Amino acid sequence: MNIIKFRMDHLYKNHCPITKNAIWVTVFFTFLLFSVSIVSVSAQDISKFKTEKKFELRGAASLFGSYYSTSDSINIMAPYAYGISISPVIKSFGFSMPFNFTYANNKSNITYPFIRLGAAPSYKWLKVFLGNNTVSFSRFVFSGLNTNGIGAEINPKWFYLGFITGTVTRKIFIDSTSTSYNRAAPRFSTKGYAIKTGIKTKSTRLLFTYFSGKDDETSLDYYNPKYNLKPRSNKAIGSEIFFRLGKHISVLSHGGMSIFTRNQYAANLDTLIKASKGDELPEWAKTIEKNPNASTQLTFAFDNALMFHFSAVDLVLRYKQIQPEYKSLGFRFENSDLRQISIEPSFRFWDNKLTGNFSIGFQKNNLSNKQALQNNNQIYSANISFNPNAKLLINFSFSNFGLIVKSSPTFIEDSISIKNVNNNINVNTQYFLHNDGSRSASVGININSQKTTETYENNPFNNSDFNSFYSNIFYNSTISKGLAYSIGLNYNKSKTHFVQLPDKLYDIQSYGVFSNMSKPFLKEEKLILGLGGFINLSGVVNTGKKIAHGMNVNATHKLTEKLNLNLSYNYTQSNVENRSLFQQYFITNLALTF
């Protein structure tokens, strides 16, 4: 209860774009919804409740800890970390209340102890959000962020109404005097609210979302002025439209309009914005954002699709456009400055033994004609799977467009990478020599070739090209008493960077052998042990190669029917430009299901 009180007090003390009175109105509305649902329940046949359990508790919980060490003077991870995670689901008389709680403390000055506590109780067409919940209302406006606040959604028959208010993104506070974390950046927390309403059925959706958010300057006590941190604000409107034109044809459209202010204290002048190619901010936009300034921009995004569905063949006609610098405080990433027109057929033949998905079209950037370079690219993608019998499996995929987003975890700003995919080829084949249920053996080949370009403006390697090639050939076998093993050869070549060597990219080439094995022990296979490793010759291209090696050991012990203990250890040893890089990890996890 103290934890619950802490989170609710925190919500009230940190002001939100909605006033405290509005929060109380929201709370009242939430309880009113509960009352309406209870009244509707009382009007139903009470005998139906006899089949419902009075109380049922299910879920999972885990205790976890880790240890990390490295030979390098720069620690990229905390030496010690530990935490607890609990995710119960309470059910009673048809009500369902999922609940989640996470606490972690990793003793690092770039991250900090954090508590996430949330619940999402639901009954039939009513759902309430309390605390931390990931809510997605609109693809281009409010999507994918873990919001700490309160909200609800109702969907009785065809009517839909949803809302949420609270902290949309958490602050990032770091010790900016630490030279070990130069590449991290602080961030204000963002407060905001979102409302979504409209028509929602299985065959029809006509939904609109409004989002309002702003950075909370008071969330950081101090930060290094070199970061030039400015408080932002945002108003955005999103749409989602879906309907059918007969049995085989349907239409899907996602749209977004964002009025984004990069600095709340910029000069109070009407802005000439890139998105409108020099035109003044329209008068109608000022009814949404009443106080625009010189840093305010208006941008649009949409993704429209006309879809044809048949028993063995589907076809999608897509028109997608995202204006330059499109962004919203309500979602994290989107590849902007893009226009795409594509035809996307797919098929399923021979009882699904042969399946395929394709995309053919073109992409264009520099929509505002203000960049020095413009790309007009033809786009292609194909994904084909062929499984003619129980012995052979072949998968092939090719794409010359896409987006790869990496962030681990989201509150470490310097870990963010957004890469445009220029070319990606992937081939996986596996042939079973025999497979009689208890024993099996197979051989296979995996090949991946990828060319990407870093596009995240705050990444130190922005605009750099990253090319990689990974391949291996393997033999897998499972023999009596559950013993399984694999052995193979690998060849890899990639342009990469090392956190320990942060200022340079390296063309690394490696080749060697790898092997893995696992075996169950004890009665009813309650203990499973695994061992794996590799030995490679590795180094910068056109230089001498040195031995790189690594090993992993893992164990899973089934203590009871619902309680498992997991242990894992791994290390890697390599050399780059005569610099030895050694890293080791130990992770333990006690997991309970109930």
- The pair of structure tokens assigned to 539 is 């180094």
324 preceded by cis ω (within 30°)? no
> Residue 174: what pLDDT?
67
- Residue 315's domain comprises 1-51+125-167+186-336
- 440 token code pair: 């099996």
Reported as a single tens digit per residue, the pLDDT across 320-373 is 999 988 999 998 766 788 899 999 999 999 999 999 999 999 888 777 776 655
Q: What pLDDT sits at residue 2? A: 37
Residue 227 lies in a domain: yes
State the Cα–Cα distance between residues 421 and 379, nearest whole angstrom.
11
Is 558 within the bounds of a domain? no
pLDDT at residue 245 is higher than 50: yes
Could you report the per-residue pLDDT of 186-207, keeping only the tens digit for each?
A: 889 999 999 999 999 999 999 9
β-pairing, 249-261 with 233-244? antiparallel
**Whole-angstrom Cα distance, residue 371 to residue 530?**
53
**What is the token pair recorded at 572?**
């890697």
- Residue 282 in any domain: the answer is yes
Question: Is residue 368 in a domain?
Answer: no
Is the per-residue pLDDT at 419 higher than 60?
yes
CA atoms of 26 and 10, how far apart (whole Å): 17
In a domain, 317, yes or no: yes
Count: domains in the chain: 1
Look at residue 39 in the predicted model and tell me its pLDDT: 39
Most confident of 166-175, 333-342, 469-478: 469-478
pLDDT above 90 covers what percent of the chain? 47
How far apart are the C-alpha atoms of 558 and 529, rounded to whole Å? 12
Q: Whole-angstrom Cα distance, residue 539 to residue 206?
A: 56
CA atoms within 13 A on the CB side of 221: 3
Indicate the burial class of 331 (C-beta count within 10 angstroms; 0-12, 13-18, 19 or more). Answer: buried
Task: Identify the bridge partners of residue 119 per DSSP, sorted by sequence position.
Answer: 99, 130
Residues 6+ apart with CB under 8 A from 589: 62, 63, 64, 65, 565, 566
Helix (H) or strand (E) holding 40, with range, is helix 20-42
Percent helix, strand and coil across the chain, each rounded to 5? 10, 55, 30
pLDDT band, residue 34 (cuts 50/70/90): very low
Domain-embedded: residue 461: no
Q: What is the CATH number of the domain that holds 276?
A: 2.40.160
* 221 in a structural domain: yes
Q: What is the band of 408 on the pLDDT scale with cuts at 50, 70, 90?
A: very low
Q: Tell me if 589 is assigned to some domain.
A: no
Is residue 484 predicted with pLDDT exceeding 50? yes
Q: What are the distances in angstroms from CA 236 to CA 193, 209, 285, 288? A: 11, 8, 10, 9
Find, among 256, 301, 295, the residue nearest to 272 by Cα: 295
Alpha-carbon distance of 248 to 388, in angstroms, equals: 29
